[in-house]
Chains A and B, each alone.
Chain A
């Protein structure tokens, strides 16, 4: 009797401690960041009126939450406010908001679909281009990660099918997206260099990316292929004699990266063919052009928590007129508005796991990737200019 009482007490104790010990894992994950930058330039504006002193119009604030609703399903969303000169006004927007259904047939493979507002699989940096601690520099290579037509690159409302799978000792990552890119007047600036009374609508984009890497991500190569069809509806002013029609974009990016403990070498090449002939007007006979972009980048982690960056970034708006002389003859716009060459030197310091600082100097020739929105007076643009950037970031 005595023993059975003791036994039941033991059982009771054991059971309750066992219950207490079983961890209840929260299926909610959340976090965010605040990034503030300062920009100054001797000529030409970048992220606000940088040529008139110091611009602080360079800010990114975001909060994300992810909820594992079931073993195979999660929901995730990120609210973001981005202020970037006249390009981004800082209004709160959903950067992404999606539901993900996935399956993991083996420990080293996973497949699934994400539906909703999803990030575009585009080059090496696009998905988290506005998240400072995932970029190697304050300003990503502007020849590929544009600020003018960034809404097209940011996220799409649609669906993305993905897969991570082993291929011998290597790994293959595949993404395929179909969706409607986010609309913005910035697209008009990008393709017409002005904000007209018309608008783009019924856009559709297809984007696929395949990357192959060794298992440890020492090297990786990636190929992105995409196509966007935008419909332009002319406004009451009928600028440039444009009629309703399609604007078609074809994109290809090829990139490679090599990583060691102290060094990372990255390069990407991009080709975009823009076809505006369907819009008629000024584009009827001259509506097709192909831009070309590439960069070579070295990161050097020379001490614990410190890094240096050196990059050479080149952009040709029209590969048939690389030096811009044809454009200058035909339209009177300066030849240097058709290309950009940017030599960037940067340094970064991870002060704590949550706080980081960066500084960089861009020595730029040409103005091809400058945002028209921040440089409305095209006549004041200079061919040779320098841009200085500082950035502080806090994550939580």
Chain B
């Protein structure tokens, strides 16, 4: 910040300052955070943690308009998956895996859809009606074509 204050005054530095602020805004406040994203058609813009758990444990398989929920996840061992499950769901990845397997192998429900990368996650959520997934903060500037779900 001292650096910015020292350069204040000229038009060039003013523009520089603007872009710096934009960059700082994009990176700092959401560092280490995971963002829940959904297809723009999803009829919901905010979810409670309880709702989020119901969706990501696959216990609820439909949105309130009764259209299917398609849950996209990264592999169990991926750091982003692990941090998402811990911080946003308040659960552990092994629990989620167990809940999915028990539901799927008894005919009760559907497995989540596995994607290989965050780029694939974004692309699939952008293009799949009813989709929900997650991204990390570094994905924030390019999050177009998806709805960011507020977690209450």
B101 nearest CB neighbor, chain A only: A134
User: In the docked arrangement, what's the CA distance between A105 and B66, Å?
Assistant: 8
- Chain B residue contacts of A29, Cβ below 8 A: 104, 110-111
A267: Cβ under 8 A from any B Cβ = no
User: Do A64 and B107 touch (CB < 8 A)?
Assistant: yes
Give the distance in Å from the alpha carbon of A119 to the alpha carbon of B104 in the complex. 12
Contact at B51–A114, with CB atoms within 8 Å?
no
**B110 and A71 form a contact (CB under 8 A):** no
A72 lies within 8 A of B66 (CB): yes
In the complex, the answer to whether A68 meets B68 with C-beta atoms within 8 Å is: yes
Contact between chains at B94 and A77 (CB < 8 Å): no
Q: Which residues of the other chain, B, contact A21 by a CB distance below 8 angstroms? A: 126-127
What separation, in Å, do the CA atoms of A103 and B63 have in the docked complex?
Answer: 10
**Which of A66, A72, A97, A169 contacts B104 (CB under 8 A)?**
A66
0/1 string, A109-153, CB within 8 A of B gives 1: 110001000110000000110010110000000000000000000
Rounded to whole angstroms, the CA-CA distance of A29 and B75 in the bound complex is 17
**Contact partner of B62 among A25, A76, A96, A110, CB < 8 A?**
A110
- Tell whether A131 pairs with B101 under 8 Å between CB atoms, given A31-B111, A104-B60, A110-B59: yes
Tell me the nearest residue of chain B to A80, going by C-beta: B105
Chain B 57-103 residues near chain A, CB threshold 8 A? 57, 59-64, 66-68, 70, 75-77, 89-92, 94-95, 98-99, 101-102
The reply to whether B60 and A216 form a contact with Cβ atoms under 8 Å apart is no
* Nearest A residue (CB) for B125: A23
User: Per a CB cutoff under 8 Å, which of B63, B99, B113, B127 touches A104?
Assistant: B63
Is there contact, CB below 8 Å, between A216 and B62? no
- How many A-B pairs have beta carbons closer than 8 Å: the answer is 124
Taking chain A's interface residues, is the majority helix, strand, or loop, or is none over half, making it mixed? Answer: strand
Say yes or no for B53: interface residue by CB 8 A criterion: yes
- Would B63 and A134 count as touching, CB distance under 8 A? no
Report the Cα distance A23→B63, complex, angstroms.
19
Q: Which of A23, A100, A164 contacts B124 (CB 8 A)?
A: A23
Asked if B138 is at the interface of the complex by the 8 Å CB criterion, the answer is: no
Query: Does A261 have its Cβ within 8 Å of any Cβ on chain B?
Result: yes
**A98 lies within 8 A of B61 (CB):** no
Assign chain B's interface to a size class.
35 or more
Most chain B CB inside 10 Å of its own CB: which residue of A97, A107, A110: A107
Chain B nearest CB, measured from A307 CB (Å): 9
Query: CA separation between A162 and B101, bound complex, in Å?
Result: 18
Residues of the A chain whose Cβ atoms lie less than 8 Å from the Cβ of B47: 107
Verify if A245 is at the interface (C-beta below 8 Å from B).
no
* B108 interface residue per 8 A CB criterion: yes
CA distance A102 to B99 in the complex (A): 19
Digit string of A253-269 for contact with B (CB within 8 Å is 1, else 0)?
A: 00000010100000000
Evaluate contact between A259 and B92: CB separation under 8 angstroms. Answer: yes
**Which residues from chain A contact B51 at a C-beta distance below 8 Å?**
106-108
Answer yes or no: A215 CB below 8 A from chain B CBs.
yes
| Complex CA distance for A301 and B44, rounded to whole angstroms | 37
Complex CA gap A107/B106 in Å reads 22
Give the residue of B49, B55, B59, B107 whose beta carbon is less than 8 angstroms from that of A100.
Answer: B107
24 contacts between A and B (CB under 8 A): A21-B126, A25-B113, A64-B107, A66-B104, A71-B66, A72-B62, A72-B66, A74-B110, A76-B108, A96-B106, A100-B107, A102-B61, A103-B62, A104-B64, A106-B64, A107-B54, A107-B63, A108-B50, A110-B54, A128-B102, A166-B54, A217-B95, A261-B92, A353-B76
